[in-house]
């Protein structure tokens, strides 16, 4: 089966939920079915946004003001949308993005307790109203996810992007509560994925959700 259309799919979840593994597997799955896939992430995805990412995720910046953090996310997103997301979608490509606007609501809204209305306004400014077609929320107990994430960071030779992993457990529990609330508010867009399973079982859940969504779209072939 071949699908000819642009499609914007985002992956969300708390730390260590398996997003990186699963987004790569879905990219292969869709490429094998004739989709031209762009794989990207937030914060980051282009040179300017990657530079902002380095500031945001570095644990040396623990003194960062919460509003400064929020504004940096918005700046990185605005550049990413303009330079990567909109051009790819306009060209009819399928975009898979590791985190997007829902992450800011969950982390800076529920986690940091900043006003959700302020975050939504900044998200709207940064995206120009761009919204994912499908959001896959990988749901995993926060303790298990943090253990995975910290283990991965300890064994990595790359930049130590662990500022959020070092937050208190209560912070991550609030982030998860925020994600679940967002999913409950928009059941048409969100697909809740049980990430407390083997990678292969999670992969099958995601493939089934995406295929069902694709086949229901009017331009699927």
Question: Is residue 163, in this structure, part of any structural domain at all?
Answer: yes
Question: Is residue 157, in this structure, part of any structural domain at all?
Answer: yes
Tokens representing residue 84 in the block: 């990567």
Question: Is residue 220, in this structure, part of any structural domain at all?
Answer: no
Question: Is residue 185, in this structure, part of any structural domain at all?
Answer: yes
pLDDT confidence of residue 221: 39
Q: What is the mean pLDDT of residues 145-167?
A: 73
Question: Is residue 2, in this structure, part of any structural domain at all?
Answer: no
Task: Tell me the CATH number at 76.
Answer: 3.40.50.300
> Which helix (H) or strand (E) is 122 found in, with range?
helix 116-127
Question: Is residue 1, in this structure, part of any structural domain at all?
Answer: no
Domain of 114, in residue numbers: 7-215
* CA atoms of 47 and 190, how far apart (whole Å): 29
Q: What is the pTM of this model?
A: 0.90
Q: How many domains does the chain have?
A: 1
pLDDT band at 217 (very low <50, low <70, confident <90, very high): low
**For the purposes of burial, counting CB atoms within 10 Å of the CB of 160, is it exposed (0-12), middle (13-18) or buried (19 or more)?**
middle
Report the mean per-residue pLDDT for the chain: 91
């Amino acid at each position: 089966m071949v699908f000819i259309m642009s499609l914007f799919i985002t992956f969300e979840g708390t730390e260590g939920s398996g997003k990186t593994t699963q987004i790569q597997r879905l990219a292969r799955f869709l490429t094998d079915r004739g989709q031209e896939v762009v794989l990207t992430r937030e914060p980051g995805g282009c040179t300017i946004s990657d530079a902002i990412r380095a500031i945001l995720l570095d644990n040396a910046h623990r003194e960062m003001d919460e509003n400064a953090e929020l504004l940096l996310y918005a700046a990185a997103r605005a550049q990413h949308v303009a330079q990567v997301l909109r051009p790819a979608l306009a060209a009819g490509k399928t975009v898979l993005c590791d985190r997007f606007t829902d992450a800011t609501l969950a982390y800076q809204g529920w986690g940091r307790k900043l006003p959700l209305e302020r975050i939504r306004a900044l998200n709207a400014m940064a995206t120009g109203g761009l919204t994912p077609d499908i959001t896959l929320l990988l749901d995993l107990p926060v303790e298990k996810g943090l253990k995975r994430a910290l283990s991965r960071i300890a064994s990595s030779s790359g930049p130590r992007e662990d500022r959020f992993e070092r937050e208190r457990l209560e912070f991550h529990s609030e982030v998860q509560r925020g994600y679940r609330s967002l999913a409950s508010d928009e059941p048409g867009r969100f697909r809740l994925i049980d990430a407390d399973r083997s990678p292969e079982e999670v992969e099958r859940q995601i493939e089934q959700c995406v295929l069902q969504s694709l086949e229901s779209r009017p331009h699927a072939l």
